[in-house]
Amino acid sequence: MNLAYLLSQPGVEEVLELRGTFGFMAFHGGSLEERTDLIARQAARDSNSSYYGVHQPAGLRQHVPSHRFTADQSESLAAFLSHVDVVITVHGFGRRGLFTTLLLGGSNRQLAKHTSTHLRQALPAYGVQDDIEQIPKELRGLHPANPVNVPRLGGVQLELPPRVRGTSPLWWDWEGPHPTPHTVALITALAESARTWRSDSSGSKTVDYPTNV
């Protein structure tokens, strides 16, 4: 299964919004990793950043591994990856012992530290892990074909637990229509991270890719 197969499924939406050279992505969006598209897209809009997403409709939950989202399968993805210099990809996960922890993987460790500073300030009730060695290997986002590592300066793979996305039982009585306060704080922190990032000080990709991915 790959991106081309996923895009051929009824109801799957591919979204491209080109603005600045900082990018946000949510290619496991829609019904798969819920609210990741809402978070990434709003952070992109609030910071004048670019956005690429693949949104699955209700009833479809096809998990295509990140490294199978390649530019040769989509003109929109190719346009996005050639336009941005650096990117934050937003994912959702749930794992015992990490339900209040945000994980920052990906190849640009300077951006990870920059972003984690804003996240810690905005979300004091959560743990923010930006030490790549402390992140579970399968959630580190270091495969060279993973879209988070394709732009010129690479990027950060942000893994979000259900609570901060507003999808945990904690929010069972939240009626909206706006996202939960935690999610709003998250979006604000991501947008501020993008606005204050300076690509000329970011160097380059700062992680050597493992040979066993």
Q: Please tell me the predicted confidence (pLDDT) of residue 114.
A: 98
Q: Please tell me the predicted confidence (pLDDT) of residue 188.
A: 98
What is the distance of C-alpha 162 from the center of its chain?
14
Mean pLDDT by 10-residue block, N- to C-terminus, for the chain (213 residues)? 96 98 98 97 98 97 96 98 98 93 98 98 97 96 98 98 90 82 97 87 55 41
CA distances from 15 to 24, 52, 57 (A): 12, 6, 13
3-state SS assignment for residue 180:
coil
Looking at the whole model, is its pTM more than 0.75? yes
Tokens 């922190």 belong to 189
Domains by residue range for the chain, with CATH:
3-201 (3.40.630.100)
Contact (Cβ atoms closer than 8 angstroms) between residue 60 and residue 86:
no
